[in-house]
Amino acid sequence: MNLAVDAGNTQVKMGVFSAGRLLHVESVSHPGFAQALKALFKKYPGIGYAILASVGEAGHTIRDLLAIFCRVHVVSAATKTPYRNSYATTQTLGADRMALASAAFFRQPRTNTLVIDAGSCVTYDFMNDYGEYLGGAISPGLRMRYKALNAFTARLPLLEPQEPQDLIGNATESSIHSGVVNGLCGEMDWIIDQYKSRYSDLTVILTGGDAQFLSRRLKSVIFAHSNFLLEGLNQLLEYNKS
């Protein structure tokens, strides 16, 4: 059994895999991780390996906690990848993007695939039909956009994401929702269209914490997959065991 751990900025997502099949998924806050991990290994004592992708400062603590229970592989530039990595600065490529590229390589073989991960940031990662990772783009995420409007202005309130009722906001709050949500969806649709102009057979996969919220507002045909990153981590772990 394998344990895939995606440590984001606010939440830690864990997935238990057996023979490639996802048995269990849960998300916990960083303070609650130690207790949740203990309960997880009690429920699944057969876990022998873990893989960790971390984008925050808590990565070392999470790694040390995992090492109490099993062998741990931390995704880094030294991690072997099944695909050809043509990213110019491989040392700075995020562990989450490496895992997403791996999932695209295994799940969509010989397919031009764009993976959009809508989390704290929105990342766009492209794998071509030769199994070559070319890179993509990084953009502010949904909540980051709401926070920026509040943090860098004197009077705009901090709002929770909400679907705009109309294109034209008739008050401050509705104007913010229209600007943030429609702006991000417009960005996504435009980027997808640009990729499709180069790759007519493009497959688009949307994942991440805000995927479900955003997917119903996109005009492009996409496949929403909430556990795509965890799958990629598990595949990276299997690839690096040998």
Predicted TM-score (pTM) of this structure: 0.92
210 catalytic residue (yes or no): no
Nearest residue to 141 via CA among 118, 164, 160, 159: 118
* 96 and 13 belong to one structural domain: no
* 50 and 148 belong to one structural domain: no
Q: For the chain, 242 residues long, give each residue's pLDDT as a single digit of tens.
A: 999 999 988 889 999 999 999 999 999 999 999 999 999 999 999 999 999 999 777 788 999 999 999 999 999 999 999 999 999 999 999 999 999 999 999 998 999 999 999 999 999 999 999 999 999 999 999 999 999 999 999 999 999 999 999 999 999 999 999 999 999 999 999 999 999 999 999 999 999 999 999 998 998 878 989 999 999 999 999 999 87
* 162 and 225 belong to one structural domain: yes
* 95 and 215 belong to one structural domain: yes
* 38 and 109 belong to one structural domain: no
Give dist(CA 82, CA 94) in Å, integer. Answer: 16
**169 within domain boundaries:** yes
**239 within domain boundaries:** no
Choosing from 6, 64, 96, 201, the catalytic residue is 96
Cross-strand bridge partners of residue 13:
6, 27
* 99 and 216 belong to one structural domain: yes
Residue-range definition of the domain harbouring residue 151: 84-232
Cross-strand bridge partners of residue 3:
16, 50
What's the domain count of the chain?
2
